[in-house]
Amino acid sequence: MPLDLTITSLHAAYRGGTLTPARLLDSLLEEAERRGPDPAWITRLDRHQLQGYLARLEGHSPESLPLFGIPFAIKDNIDLAGVPTTAGCPAFAYVPEESAFVVQRLIDAGAIPLGKTNLDQFATGLVGERAPEAYGVPGNAFDPERVPGGSSSGSAVVTAAGQVSFALGTDTAGSGRVPACFHNLVGVKPSLGLLSSRGVVPACATLDTISLFALTADDAATLFDIAAVPDPECRWSRAHDFALHGQRYGTPPARFRFGVPKAAQWQTDPDYTRAMREAIGLLESLGGERVEIDATPLLAAARLLYEGPWVAERYHAIRELMEQDPESVHPVTRQITAGGASPLAVEAFEARYQLAEYKRQADALLASVDLMLTPTTVTHPTKAAVAADPIGVNARLGTWTNFMNLLDYSALAVPVGFTGAGLPVGVTLFGRCFDDLRLLSLARAMEAALALPLGAMGLPRPRTKPMAPGSDGYLEVVVCGAHLQGLPLNGQLTQRGGVLVERTATAARYRLYALAGGPPARPALVRDEANGSAVEVEVWRLPQQWIGSFLAGIPSPLGLGQVELANGEWKTGFICAAGGLHGAGQASDITAYGGWRQWLAAVTDERVMSGSELNDAC
């Protein structure tokens, strides 16, 4: 039986004395020896090379090092000190003196690198078939006749096969998500800049990020917490304090809105269509409300990646090799990259302008939901199909991945089940930049509901332990007057990224007043235990970082407090203390109308106000 290599299980074994890091490494090395040559690996460290990493663990334990004794693999376009970095090309290889920033962070936390994994050469591809003969091509861990997915092919294969606990990949156009989908793994594509790219051979430097392959969402969250820190020496590094923005990993919100592309846009085969429908049902069972989205700007942006100047960025990364020794580059990689030698500067600017327009449109779509659900990819091709059409099949696999980094979004590949042939299928959750923990929290809930086996090992998934509710970085605000959808002050919510959650009513313990003054007219919601009624309201979800500026625009005697809803929940909302009405001038009790909209309609129909007063109210 293979070992359960999840971080939680290994640490439990270490604490219980049934296993030590040295014994684990011996077992993994013996198993590797039995397997013999393995094209998933380009370089494997031997026992002598690993001894230094074991020595670093002396005097420590899982309590002092979060990754104590956890074995991992590194895609071979990411530096590990003293070990060749090849990027899948022997003629390009060099030996770095220092490890990549992220690799060093993981080692400092107690993780043990077992070696460097195979990839589509120079991270150019989503199939995992573009490695030179010198290294061979990995087979999929579930079916060797199927592609492993790329470009991080080896990293996905060795994680799913139980050879390591987790692996590093890179992701420019889907290289950390497609192979995760094909191997029943969690594939984290972080927001750009959160994981330093220092020590990574670039594919497209402006779009590259290190990605994470993990067996569980909990493992992925642990790795993310360690690796996602600012690197002062990386030009692309971006800092983000999740706690400061009210976001942490945990149980997702009880209700949320998720966007789904129109079914006609999915382009999925029957297995991946079924995976999407099952994921939609699962998210709805977890409290999600489905919102259909026209994904046209997303798909249009995806086409820019290989039709626009970003191919020139790939050429720039290996320009010297392409000019001096082009035959050393894989034929398909060479064909794709060579197209980047000639674009004009004017074409680059034209593409940037077009991308800016697609992003404007895409951001507007995301503003109406908390996150998006899409296919990770559209099918799982055989090796024979890729050999027959290497560029066409590869392009299809990137249909739903190519746009993510171009549009600066966070994304996460999540397993959802298996086909009748036993192959994994999955979907992608994505959201705005820095929504990473929100996506991971939802993936955790999906994982707990599905209880899929670990990777390709057939081992049961460790039971998910209860966690305190996470924070998704939003505050739900109850509004009852001019901030209602379509009314004059609603822009104060929508301009701050507010999303309508629901239309409901308060508990029958409130009175509603129309305050004098304006424009526009303002409401006052006052709690009245003895003579109150239900008042229609809306609940809006507002990013916490905008709460301060939102409050600054609320005039006296109004403010934010706690409002009881008809279902018994208490939420933050507009209130006015009973005493506040005395200093607010003339106030009309409009409770009998049942809500602000009904009062406005009555005022219009009955003409009880003058025309100017009516304009003020509306």
Q: What are phi and psi of 61, to 5 degrees?
A: -155, 175
pLDDT over 90 at 495, yes or no: no
Residue 459 lies in a domain: no
pLDDT over 50 at 170, yes or no: yes
d(CA 96, CA 83): 7
Q: What is the mean pLDDT of the segment spanning 229-246?
A: 92
Residue 209, beta-bridge partner list? 171
Residue 305 lies in a domain: no
Same domain? For 387 and 524 the reply is: no
Q: How confident is the model at residue 303 (pLDDT cuts 50, 70, 90)?
A: very high
Same domain? For 560 and 416 the reply is: no
Residue of 75, 116, 359, 383 marked active site: 75
Bigger pLDDT: 616 vs 169: 169
524: domain range? 473-617
471 classed as catalytic: no
pLDDT over 90 at 41, yes or no: yes
Lowest-confidence pick of 23-32, 41-50, 272-281, 482-491? 482-491
151 classed as catalytic: yes
Task: Please tell me the predicted confidence (pLDDT) of residue 468.
Answer: 62
pLDDT over 80 at 613, yes or no: no
3-state DSSP of 398-418: CCCCCHHHHCCCEEEEEEEEE
Task: Please tell me the predicted confidence (pLDDT) of residue 582.
Answer: 61
Q: Which of 450, 482, 506 is the last residue of a domain?
A: 450
406-428 residue pLDDT tens: 999 999 999 999 999 999 999 99
103-144 residue pLDDT tens: 999 999 999 999 999 999 999 999 999 999 999 999 999 999
pLDDT over 90 at 442, yes or no: yes
Q: What is the CATH number of the domain that holds 75?
A: 3.90.1300.10
Residue of 9, 155, 175, 237 marked active site: 175
d(CA 149, CA 444): 24
* pTM confidence score: 0.83
Q: What is the mean pLDDT of the segment spanning 44-66?
A: 97
Query: Domain total for the chain?
Result: 2
Task: Please tell me the predicted confidence (pLDDT) of residue 479.
Answer: 93
- 151 burial (CB, 10 Å; 0-12 / 13-18 / 19+) is buried
pLDDT over 80 at 32, yes or no: yes
Q: Is the dihedral of CA 280, 282, 283, 284 positive or negative?
A: positive
312-364 residue pLDDT tens: 888 888 888 888 888 988 988 898 888 888 777 788 889 999 999 999 999 99
Q: Are 54 and 24 in contact (CB under 8 A)?
A: no
Same domain? For 236 and 87 the reply is: yes
Q: What is the mean pLDDT of the segment spanning 506-517?
A: 89
Peptide bond into 151 cis (omega under 30): yes
pLDDT over 80 at 465, yes or no: no
Same domain? For 17 and 86 the reply is: yes
Lowest-confidence pick of 40-54, 137-151, 402-416, 598-612? 598-612
175 classed as catalytic: yes
Same domain? For 127 and 204 the reply is: yes
Residue of 9, 99, 151, 196 marked active site: 151
CA 70 to chain centre: 24
Same domain? For 57 and 201 the reply is: yes
Residue 130 lies in a domain: yes
Residue 312 lies in a domain: no
Task: Please tell me the predicted confidence (pLDDT) of residue 605.
Answer: 65
Same domain? For 107 and 189 the reply is: yes
CA 36 to chain centre: 36
Residue 214 lies in a domain: yes
For 142-287, strand residue ranges (E) read 166-171, 186-189, 209-214, 247-248, 256-261
